[in-house]
A and B are shown apart, each in its own frame.
Chain A
Amino acid sequence: MYNFIFIFHGLLAILTQLVIFRELSVLFYGNELFLGTFLSSWLFWVGMGSLWVRRLLLKAQLKVDYFAYGFLTISIFLPLLFLCIRLSKGLFAFGQLIGPLATISYTFLVMSGLCFVIGGQFSLACAIAGDQTKAAGALGRVYLYEALGSVVGGVLFTYILIGTVPTFIVAVILSLISVVVGGKLLHSEKKMSAKNLLLIAVSLAMIAFYFKIEPTVNRLQWRKYTFIQQKESRNATLSLVKLGSIKSVFFDGLLAASFPGAENYEPVAHWPLLAIDTPGRILVLGDTSLGILKEVLKHHPHVLDYVVLDHSFIDFVTDHLDAEDRAALRDARVHIYYQDPRLFVKNSKAQYDAVIMNIPEVPNLKLNRFFTQEFYAQLKVILRPNGILALSVVSSENYLSRQTQMFNASVYQTMRSVFQTAEIIPGESMMLLCSSSAIDIRPETILARFKNRKISNSYVIPSYLEYKLDVHRRADIERLLAETSGIEMNSDFKPTTYHYFSNLWQNKFASPLGYLMGSAFLGMIVFFFFRGKSSPGYFAQRKECVLVFKFGFISILLELLLLFSFQIISGYVYWQMGMLFAAFMLGLFLGSALGGLSRDKKKQTHFLFLIILSVAIVVLTVCARFLIPHLVNLSSHQKMLIFLMCLILAGGLSGAAFVIAGFSIREQDVLMKAGSLYSADLWGAALGAILSANFIIPKFGLLGAFTFAAIAGIFGLVIFLVLSFKRGL
């Protein structure tokens, strides 16, 4: 029975992680800063729980009781956390972006309780397993079944639950199963006293209560708006709300589109189309570009191809659009393709007069691939010789700060490295037009085309066009961006534009007080970790923990790098991404199973295995570094196979290292052993998560990050060897 419970705990942990991530994304926009914060906060608290549970156990013989109470606590905490997150939208200033400090503080605070319990459950599971079998194998056994649970949970969520079952319902189902599991544990140990029965009843009552008040909480989170509907698609949570006559769609809590919104859609469509003589075939890229279609049709193109990643957005808003937008969607000239835009461009055989990119400006690494030299080169192939590529990025009308200048220059110079000519229309949203031949945007030409095509607009009108075509402003900004030095071209494997955009975004929240607060926070962490022998940092003195910490760090870095690389090379295909996630977890399972076979080997053999595994992960990282750039020309199946193998290997090496380190460690107390190793693993991963997306990848690029991971691997191995020879095996 216990093996099934361990599997369930793995499944519970991974599903909880995924659904809370979705939920918090709505609050914090799901960008890289948040992803790193979320993962590190999750891993930090789970690690903390696994380490500290031993101290909280008053009576060692009550492990099963505590394990059962842990499940009952999770059953109460999980839906409560959901409601808390949804309600806390009101804690932050209405309509304001939430800065890094608030994101980090709130995420760490809100996740502490639940994650602590989940972490504690792992150590308790090890202790229970230790009572049943040999203590040495307990850790490996629990890790193995947990990994299996994670594989099942990950696959279940990716292919069945996401987009079909609302996350709150998933949370409630998990809570109910947790109550059953907790009850079963108490019952099997014949500890079903009145007190325990009362606990179970309270848990069930709480779940029922949460279920009842959930709709009210949903409405409260969109206070001041008229809430229309919310939907969880595979890629994001979509919310449709109304404020007066303006309907707005929020993607993961971030304003993505408003209807009507002439001031947003008219410039994006009309600038590129007025810059060309005969707009015949037009391509529009970007999920939220729906409002652009009717504007493009004003130029009478023959064909308008519209590429969106998935159909959720269109399905979600169609019924709420005005007649003009709906008519544009039904227009015979409009062809909608549900595909990754980059994949579409790569496979397209058509030739376009204009490509309009309406993709949000690089708020995350996933979108950086639409602003790279490689993608521009692909676009150049599908553009006619005098065709125009148009995109707009955030800028400033009157003055560019250093951060905005770097970001704008990065986009501009990268475009110029592929296209011969580029024209800039300055503004809050800077329009960039580029082509392989000269672009005619002289005011007289633009105004003549505007007149001849009989365009009727409310925002982009002749006086607006004249004002925006002011020679001085255009010349000033063009010179400024062209002359900005020190800009690295944005490429698939060196995502610099994303880095510049992150700087610009964070500049909005920069303040000396923030720096002070951050320093104080770091100071507290340092104190907490290294204040004495009983501190969590004590694990640093155990060589196995150092090794597992290193594996945690490298494996998450490697996992993220492989996933980003796959997206760049093969495009974003949802089911493939899910499969890659699952492959890593399968690797963990297989690795821990294989590692478990060495249980009865000698200490020296375990030591040797750990060295071999450490070398192997460095070799894998180096191989991936040199292999990945050459995968572009392989078939999609071959690419998929290679990535699957890499991820299984990465997971496998980490899983095996964890289990073998468990055999190698001298600690006799299973709780202590499990806590130390598990927390080391998770804290390593936490550090890797927060550093990879926010520092390592932007700083070194994807390929450089592989090198970084390899060097970190060698460094970790050296420390492990030094500690081993210093203190003996």
Chain B
Amino acid sequence: MKRAGAYLFLLLNIVLCLGVVGLVALQPPPHTVTSLFPVDNQRIRPAEWGTWGCLGVQCQLCPFRCFLPEGARGICRVRMNVGSKLKTLVYAQPVSVHIDPIEKKPVYHMLPGSKILSIATVGCNLRCAFCQNWEISQSYPERSTIADGQILSPEEVVALAIKYNCDAIAYTYSEPIIFYEYVMDTAKLAKQKGLKNVLVSAGYINPEPLRELAPYFDVIKIDLKGFNNQFYRKVVGGQLRYVLETLKELKRQNVLTEIVNLVVPGLNDDMDEIKQMCEWIYNNLGPDTPLFFSRFTPQYKLSNLPVTPLETLERAREIALQAKLRYVYIGNVAGHTGESTYCPRCKRVLVRRYGYAILENNIQKGRCRFCGEKIPGLWE
């Protein structure tokens, strides 16, 4: 009997091990996670996009559509079923509040050289192995320190932006989709006060919530992390088709969209894929969509990989220009000619950049100073 019990214990362990291995091997990862740490009830606020289903709540915010039994959290770690209601754990709790140059986002077709107040809470619905802000995105609310230890209400965020003479507010660093309610309230208020809003996102959101959010944004910057579903599944933890849907929806909503493609050597630097991506952008979003090829630097789990060779970025840019995209940039390479904006008609430099500095701006009233070509963007 004793022996049988012992073997049962072993069997259970093996099953547990195999189960965990199986879960880890699943792509994308399981739709619900629970934290090992208690949550502060004071900081829980109602969240939108939850639908009641059998024995739990389903979050309809992003394509994961996490089904959450009582007490479970979504893959983003910040949306939770509390008392059969969907709640957010990060409302008004930014962990990072900074003033950045707008070029850092990077957003190139809105007020060059302006300052932008950037905020982020913890959490993300993706798990990019190269995440630059992994300490924010891959953390849990209860394990993070709120900036200045204070709750920062939407009113206070807007007041802060005005105080520091910022022209806009950026919801950035981690994935702003997962603090949707906070973004929405702040963006509405900022609009009322004459500030602009910039969303820096991976675009992993369902069309319905996006349709409600998009009108409040002046520019939405989408990280299109690659054009290969396998790369998305293995390295990013999502699926490409949802991001493409988001981009198409933004086009329908007529929101100025800029796209960043971080070129990771050996992982998403295939030139055929880049060509397909450029053609897709041209066909679905139009030739005026600004596209950045950004240089990868070793980050997070991908720390054992060198930076992207410059010629890879230059080749990608060349392909994009050949695909008739009109505003193609090279990012993260200070001083490269690919940082500047050129007039598609007369080919002269419109905005000459060096890193975050604006050396020259030849756009007047949204048009090229030399030939009068209309340049898409918010310039004044």
Residues of A within 8 A of B (CB): 93-97, 99, 224-225, 243-246, 248, 250, 253-255, 258, 261, 263, 396-402, 404-405, 428, 458-459, 461-464, 466-467, 470, 472-473, 508-509, 512-513, 515-517, 520-521, 523-524, 527-528, 531-532
Chain B, residue nearest A464 (CB): B355
A280 CB to closest chain B CB (Å) equals: 30
Residue from the list B129, B144, B265 in contact with A93, Cβ < 8 A: B129
**Closest chain B CB from A185 CB (angstroms):** 38
Is B346 an interface residue, CB under 8 A from the partner? no
Chain B residues with CB under 8 A of A517: 17, 20-21, 24
- Report the minimum CB–CB distance from A183 to chain B (whole Å): 41
The residues of B that contact A527 with a CB separation of less than 8 Å are 6, 9-10, 13
Complex formed: what's the CA distance from A398 to B118 in Å?
A: 10
A242 to chain B, nearest CB (A): 9
User: With A93-B129, A461-B355, A463-B355 in contact, do A521 and B173 touch (Cβ < 8 Å)?
Assistant: no
A287: shortest Cβ distance to chain B, in Å? 18
| Contact yes or no, A97 B301, CB < 8 A | yes
Interface contact A463-B134, CB-CB below 8 Å: no
Asked if A246 meets B309 with Cβ closer than 8 Å, knowing A94-B267, A399-B136, A428-B132, the reply is: yes
B310 in contact with A461 (CB, 8 Å): no
Contact B312 A508 (CB under 8 A): no
Could you say which of A93, A399, A463, A516 contacts B133, with CB atoms under 8 Å apart?
A399
Our pick among A255, A261, A464 for the contact of B303 (Cβ within 8 Å) is: A255
Contact B16 A401 (CB under 8 A): no
Q: Mark B290-330, 1 if CB is under 8 A from A, else 0.
A: 00000001111111111111111000000000000000000
B97 to chain A, nearest CB (A): 9
| Contact (A520, B16) CB under 8 Å given A243-B309, A467-B101 | yes
Contact B173 A398 (CB under 8 A): yes
| A535 CB to nearest B CB, Å | 10
CB-CB under 8 A from B10, the residues of chain A are 524, 527-528, 531
Contact A463–B354 (Cβ < 8 Å): yes
Residues of B near A246 (CB, < 8 A) are 265, 306-307, 309
A512 → chain B, closest Cβ, in Å? 6
Q: Specify which chain B residues have a CB less than 8 angstroms from the CB of A466 in the assembled complex.
A: 357
Q: Is the CB of A96 within 8 A of B302?
A: yes
Residue from the list A245, A428, A461 in contact with B335, Cβ < 8 A? A461
Q: Check B135 for interface membership: any CB of A closer than 8 A.
A: yes
The smallest C-beta distance from A275 to any residue of chain B, in angstroms, reads: 20
Nearest Cβ distance between residue A408 and chain B, in whole angstroms? 12
If the complex has contacts A263-B297, A516-B16, are A94 and B305 also in contact, measured as CB distance less than 8 A? yes
B365 within 8 A of A: no
Can you spell out 21 A-B residue pairs with CB atoms less than 8 angstroms apart?
Answer: A93-B235, A94-B267, A96-B304, A243-B306, A244-B311, A245-B309, A255-B304, A396-B135, A397-B132, A399-B120, A401-B143, A428-B297, A458-B334, A461-B354, A462-B357, A464-B355, A467-B355, A516-B16, A517-B20, A524-B14, A531-B10
CB distance from B29 to the nearest CB of A (A): 8
Contacts of A472 in B (CB 8 A): 98-99
User: Which 10 pairs of residues, A with B, have the shortest CB-CB distance?
Assistant: A244-B309, A463-B357, A95-B305, A401-B135, A399-B96, A224-B266, A520-B16, A248-B306, A258-B306, A398-B96
Q: Is residue B36 within 8 Å, beta carbon to beta carbon, of the partner chain?
A: yes
Q: Do A255 and B305 contact each other (CB < 8 Å), given the known contacts A401-B135, A513-B20, A520-B16?
A: yes
Tell yes or no: B230 within 8 A of A by CB: no
For the complex formed, measure the closest distance between the CB of B380 and the CB atoms of chain A, giving whole angstroms: 22
Contact of A402 among B129, B145, B267 (CB under 8 A): B145
Decide: B301 and A508 in contact? CB cutoff 8 A. yes
**Contact assessment for A96 and B13 in the assembled complex, using a CB-CB cutoff below 8 Å:** no
Partner of B307, one of A96, A99, A263, A399: A263
Contact among A95, A399, A516 for B266, CB-based, below 8 A:
A95
B371 within 8 A of A: no
Min Cβ gap A238→B in Å is 15
The bracket for how many chain B residues form the interface is 35 or more
Known A-B contacts A401-B139, A513-B24, A532-B6; the reply to A520 vs B13 at CB < 8 A is yes
Asked whether B34 is an interface residue with its Cβ less than 8 Å from the other chain, the reply is yes
B306–chain A nearest beta-carbon distance, Å: 4
Q: Taking the complex as formed, is B3 at the interface, i.e. its CB lies under 8 A from any CB of chain A? A: yes
> Which residue from chain B places its CB closest to the CB of A96 in the assembled complex?
B301
| B35 at interface by CB-CB < 8 Å | yes
The answer for the CA separation of A521 and B310 in the assembled complex, in Å, is 45
Q: Which residue of B lies closest to A530 (CB)?
A: B6
Find the A residue at minimum CB distance from B297.
A263
Chain B residue at minimum C-beta to C-beta distance from A264:
B307
In chain B, what residue has the closest Cβ to A505? B303
- A523 interface neighbour in B3, B9, B20, B33, Cβ under 8 Å: B9
B39 is an interface residue with CB less than 8 A from chain A: no
Distance in Å from the Cβ of B359 to the closest Cβ of chain A? 9
Q: Does B234 contact A (CB under 8 A)?
A: yes
Q: Which of these, B23, B266, B299, contacts A94 with CB under 8 Å? A: B266
Q: Which residue of A lies closest to B94 (CB)?
A: A399
The answer to whether the Cβ of B282 comes within 8 Å of any Cβ in the partner chain is no
Determine if B356 is an interface residue (Cβ-Cβ < 8 Å). Answer: yes
Given contacts A96-B301, A97-B303, A521-B17, contact A398 B3 (CB under 8 A): no
CB closest chain-A residue, reference B305: A95
Cα A408 to Cα B176 with chains together (Å): 27
Give the Cβ gap from B46 to chain A, nearest Cβ, in Å: 26
Residues of chain B lying within 8 A (CB to CB) of residue A248: 306
Contacts of A93 in B (CB 8 A): 129, 234-235, 301
Q: Which of A255, A508, A524 is B13 in contact with, Cβ under 8 Å?
A: A524
CB-defined contacts of A97 to chain B, threshold 8 Å: 301-304
What residues of chain A lie closer than 8 Å to B145, measured between beta carbons?
402, 405
**A462 to B235 Cα, complex, angstroms:** 36
The distance from the CB of A90 to the nearest CB of chain B, in whole angstroms, is 12
Q: Residue of A at shortest CB range from B139?
A: A401
Q: How far is the CB of A412 from chain B (nearest CB, A)?
A: 17
Q: List, in ascending order, chain A residues with CB within 8 A of B101's CB.
A: 467
Q: Given the known A-B contacts A401-B139, A458-B334, are A244 and B34 also in contact in the complex, defined by CB atoms under 8 Å?
A: no
Contacts A93-B234, A461-B334 given; does A400 touch B135 at CB 8 Å? yes
Closest-by-CB residue of A relative to B9 is A527
Beyond A96-B302, A399-B133, A466-B357, 18 additional pairs, beta carbon < 8 A: A94-B267, A96-B301, A225-B266, A246-B309, A398-B98, A398-B173, A401-B139, A402-B145, A404-B135, A428-B297, A463-B334, A463-B356, A467-B356, A470-B99, A508-B300, A512-B33, A523-B16, A527-B6
Whether B304 pairs with A243 at a CB distance below 8 angstroms is: no
How close is B94's CB to chain A, nearest CB, in angstroms? 9
Neighbouring A residues of B136 by C-beta, 8 Å: 398-399
CA distance A97 to B3 in the complex (A): 41
Partner of A401, one of B36, B129, B144, B265: B144
CB A306 to nearest CB in B, in angstroms, measures 23
**Across the interface, which residues of A come within 8 angstroms of B36, CB to CB?**
512, 515
Are the C-beta atoms of B304 and A254 separated by less than 8 Å?
yes
Contact B312 A520, beta carbon cutoff 8 Å? no
Contact of B95 with A by CB under 8 A: yes
Q: How far is the CA of A470 from the CA of B118 in the complex (A)?
A: 15
B24 neighbours in A (Cβ, 8 Å): 513, 517
Chain B: CB-nearest residue to A401: B135
CA distance A473 to B118 in the complex (A): 13
> How close is A102's CB to chain B, nearest CB, in angstroms?
10
Q: Give per-residue flags for B1-42: 1 if the beta carbon is below 8 A from chain A beta carbons, else 0.
A: 001001001100110110011011000000001111000000
**Min CB gap A260→B, angstroms:** 9
B contact residues around A467 at 8 Å (CB)? 101, 355-356
Q: Is the CB of A244 within 8 A of B356?
A: no
B33 CB contacts on chain A under 8 angstroms: 512
Distance of B216 from chain A, by nearest CB (Å): 23
- Closest residue of chain A to B16 (Cβ to Cβ) is A520
Q: Is the CB of A520 within 8 A of B120?
A: no
| B98: chain A residues within 8 A (beta carbon) | 398, 472-473
Tell me which of A462, A517, A520, A521 has the highest count of chain B C-beta atoms within 10 A of its own C-beta: A520
Contacts of A399 in B (CB 8 A): 95-96, 120, 133, 135-136, 144, 173
